[in-house]
Every structure is written in C-alpha cells, then in structure tokens.
Amino acid sequence: MIEEALKHRLRSLVGHKVEYCGQQCRVIEVLDSEQALVVQCMSQTVSAVIQGNQYGEATRRVQACHTIRLYDETNQLDPDIDHWLNQASL
C-alpha cells in the first residue's frame, strides 16, 4: 500500500502529460495495491497496440500503456516519478 500523502500527490498527476522513455505520455491511473503508476503514450509515432475484449478477441487498436513501479530495488522512488511530482508542485 502507498502511504496517504504520497498517494494524494500521485493522484494529482492523473491527467498530466509527462515524458517517459522519450515519448509524450499521459498519467492515467495510480495502482495502489501494485504500487505502480500507469501512463498512456500519446505520440502519433508510437504504433497503437491491439486490445482484446473480455474473451481475448482482438477488437480495436489503442495507444500503448506502460505500468511503472513506484519504487526500485532499493526501495527508492523511481527517478522519473520523483521528477514528475517535483514538476507538478512548482
């Protein structure tokens, strides 16, 4: 579980545009139980991925998403996420 103060700060990022791995992305979700942040690529140069429905059938193309762990192996906040939080507080 994410501590409440950090969870509140992370939720304030939802909807914000960020740069991740050289791509323009938008923060779309905070996963509390998995201690992760989900970003969706917005760049037109990134090809869309095929999304399956509940039965696993390919139904539509959507922008790629990335799930980013909040903490690294040393239990430190991911540098990208830390940077985004600092930028949002300015």
Average pLDDT for the chain: 91
3-state DSSP helix/strand/coil % of the chain, to nearest 5: 20, 40, 40
What is the SS3 assignment for 79? helix
Q: pLDDT-derived band of residue 48, with 50, 70 and 90 as boundaries?
A: confident
Over residues 38-50, the mean pLDDT reads 80
Structure-token pair, residue 64: 């790629």
Model's pTM, two decimal places? 0.83
**Three-state SS across 39-51?**
EEECCCCCCCEEE
Over residues 13-20, the mean pLDDT reads 96
Q: pLDDT-derived band of residue 46, with 50, 70 and 90 as boundaries?
A: low
Residue 78 has pLDDT above 90, yes or no: yes
Q: What is the pLDDT, as a whole number, of residue 89? A: 76
